[in-house]
Amino acid sequence: MKTLLVLGSGTAGTMVANKLRDRLAVDEWTITVVDQDDAHHYQPGYLFVPFGHYTRDKLVRTARSLLKDGIEFVLAAVTRVTPETNTVTLVGGRKLRYDYLVVATGTSPRPDQTPGMLGPEWRRSIFDFYTLDGAEALAAALKSFDHGQLVIHIAEMPIKCPVAPLEFAFLADDWLRNHGVRDQVEMVFVTPLDAAFTQPVAAELLGGMLDERKIRLTPDFMVESIDNEHKTLVSYDGREVAFDLLVTIPVNMGADFIGTSGLGDELNYVPVDKHTLLSIAHANIFALGDASNAPASKAGSVAHFAVDIFVDNFLEHIAGRPMTGSFDGHANCFVEAGDNKALLIDFNYDTQPLPGKYPVPGIGPMSLLKATRTNHLGKLAFRHLYWNVLLPGHPVPLPSHMSMAGKHQPDPEG
């Protein structure tokens, strides 16, 4: 018997295990998933929690219940991977052997990486929403926030779901307006990027949306520390941004064991071939989803499209054949815009988000780079699709590779 070991029961890990259980003979392969937590979170839902739209029971299920029969689930934390012996060591000393390893342990916010972030103002005037606990705490804080300076802050890139900070800003603006206090709140969006987003066309549009909502953009801000006494963000170049309520996206990092095992880069992401997601150092280790250093967006859609390519590649790889599939970095993300509308962006390694229709060229029903009610409903409907179609490994009628059909370059003259 050969063993496929999957580290992580999040989006990528669950999809990989379920899809490959259908493709690998049960009498020839064991599939084992390892995770330190039996709670599987629908993380895109965190964005809505501060505004009272989702509660914990809508966002959490047991990881074990999402895995198909014939998949073993081990509830334990990993301390080390030893590629030389093809073993994974768990807390307590237990060792698991593998023939092939998939690292799918994701990325996590690390507020400890910024001096002062975990100071006395943490969860008092400083909040995150990239954890469920943080989103719930922020929901309570927003209920009593009716004046002052609200700062939305990104500590460093890359981060999980890079559009989520902008979405929070737009939703917060809408929420404050609906509660009649927007005129008493100054909003500031602080980012280490030189614009609102990374891609030029989308950056111009999203930056314009910040302007329309009177949300001040503070770009090129590399945070050095947070001064809890004076309630200010302090950058390496000496600039300061004061806050009454700070919603921060901390530094995101991969799992610690990736670093201590010598598998990762400085942020604990596994270096991989960006098209096959095979480790550049080990021929029997892959990294999927947010755990790799592939220059794709760290978003659930990327995990979905990448896993689709990976499964056929893996079957070729274990048969000793060249992998013929090539992941192109395809990502598509809904961007909540407030007022029950959302945009949709669709892009890959080589092509930035462009206007158009998706998924059917010229028809849609989704509109690219345009805020519509249909896009908003699509984002809300995705939660059902996630639990009932994506995670079980059922086919989704969307192309894994990005298509230029239906897209067009915007008119530079407007």
Give 163-189 pLDDT, tens digit per residue. 999 999 999 999 999 999 999 999 999
Task: Report the CATH number at residue 207.
Answer: 3.50.50.60
55 and 148 belong to one structural domain: no
Give 93-106 pLDDT, tens digit per residue. 999 999 999 999 99
Residue 400 lies in a domain: no
Residue 232 lies in a domain: yes
142 and 213 belong to one structural domain: yes
Give 179-235 pLDDT, tens digit per residue. 999 999 999 999 999 999 887 888 899 999 999 999 999 999 999 999 999 999 999
pLDDT in the model for residue 411:
62
122 and 170 belong to one structural domain: yes
265 and 280 belong to one structural domain: yes
Residue 406 lies in a domain: no
Among 202, 227, 248, identify where a domain stops.
248
200 and 240 belong to one structural domain: yes
Residue 405 lies in a domain: no
Look at the chain and report how many structural domains it folds into.
Answer: 3
219 and 157 belong to one structural domain: yes
Residue 100 lies in a domain: yes
Whole-prediction pTM = 0.95
102 and 44 belong to one structural domain: yes
22 and 121 belong to one structural domain: no
375 and 309 belong to one structural domain: no
Residue 399 lies in a domain: no
Mean pLDDT in consecutive groups of 10 residues from the start of the chain, 414 residues: 97 98 97 97 97 94 97 98 98 97 97 97 97 97 96 96 96 97 98 90 91 97 98 97 98 97 96 98 97 94 95 97 97 95 95 91 90 96 95 89 83 54
**Residue 263, domain extent:** 2-108+253-318
Residue 324 lies in a domain: no
The full 3-state SS of the chain, as one line of letters, equals CEEEEEECCCHHHHHHHHHHHHHCCCCCEEEEEEECCCEEECHHHHHHHHHCCCCHHHHEEECHHHCCCCEEEEECCEEEEECCCCEEEECCCCEEECCEEEECCCCEECHHHCCCCCCCCECCCEECCCCHHHHHHHHHHHHCCCCEEEEEEECCCCCECCCHHHHHHHHHHHHHHHCCCHHHEEEEEECCCCCCCCCHHHHHHHHHHHHHCCEEEECCCCEEEEECCCCEEEECCCCEEECCEEEEECCEECCHHHHHCCCCCCCCCECECCCCCEECCCCCEEECHHHECCCCCECHHHHHHHHHHHHHHHHHHHCCCCCCCCCCCCEEEEEEEECCEEEEEEECCCCCCCCEEEEECCCEEEEECCCEHHHHHHHHHHHHHHHHHHCCCCCCCCCCCCCCCCECCCCCCC
